[in-house]
Amino acid sequence: MSRVGKKPIPLPQGVKVQIGDRLEVQGPKGKLSVPIPQGVKILQKGTNLELERDGEQFAALHGLTRALAANAIQGVSGGFTRELDIVGIGFRADVKGKIATFTLGYSHPIELLLPEGIDLKIDKQTHLVLSGQDKQAIGQVAANIRALRKPDPYKNKGIRYTGEVLRKKVGKTGASAK
């Protein structure tokens, strides 16, 4: 049984919350809102937010709402980052404004429009750092970038998350024994 929903959420300095039918969170990095489902109540007690549920049938929503609220509070106070690495000869990326251009071994460069609130920094043309306040949006953009050229287990090429371990597979052998 998960006890995520019972854990209080500490409010950092400079973060303001407004509780209605949605939880409105405002901080130095921006503003986010989290829907509050029926059966779950959010209460502010001092510098903490606490969640309560009306019954056991709302247990899953209780934990989900608490996790979404905690992510929103962390997003507007500190933000989130996701890092990716491009591996392969001639593979690189470039960003101009809100358009990222990738050269990934295809016959054409691939352009990707970054959504509002997501920043992309590129180090040495092969290390990408996504940052922003919305954890879900950063994860989705990172997954979209990774899908442009998934890591290949045979050649060890492609776009992967920093720290992602890729198990190299052995390819075919030239002659088969008869």
Annotated domain spans of the chain: 4-77, 80-161
- pTM recorded for the entire structure: 0.81
Q: What is the CATH number of domain 4-77?
A: 3.90.930.12
Q: What are phi and psi of 5, to 5 degrees?
A: -65, -25
What confidence score (pLDDT) does residue 170 get? 84
**Secondary structure percentages of the chain, helix, strand, coil, to 5:** 20, 40, 40
What is the band of 144 on the pLDDT scale with cuts at 50, 70, 90?
Answer: very high
Q: Which amino acid belongs to residue 85? A: D
Q: Find out whether 60 and 69 touch, Cβ atoms under 8 Å.
A: no
| Higher pLDDT pick, 3 / 94 | 94
Residue partners of 54: CB distance under 8 A and separation at least 6: 39, 40, 41
Q: Are 4-77 and 80-161 in the same CATH fold?
A: yes
Average pLDDT score, the chain: 86
Closest listed residue to residue 96, CA positions, set 114, 77, 82: 114
Residue 83: CA count within 13 A, CB half-sphere: 7
Q: Give, as one character, the DSSP assignment of residue 174.
A: S
Residue partners of 88: CB distance under 8 A and separation at least 6: 104, 105, 149, 155, 157, 158
In angstroms, the CA 125 to CA 147 distance is: 18
Residue partners of 146: CB distance under 8 A and separation at least 6: 84, 159, 160, 161
For domain 80-161, the CATH architecture is: Alpha-Beta Complex (3.90)
What confidence score (pLDDT) does residue 20 get? 86
Enumerate the H helices of the chain as residue ranges.
Answer: 59-77, 135-148
Q: Find out whether 126 and 92 touch, Cβ atoms under 8 Å.
A: yes
| Higher pLDDT pick, 3 / 68 | 68
In angstroms, the CA 26 to CA 21 distance is: 16
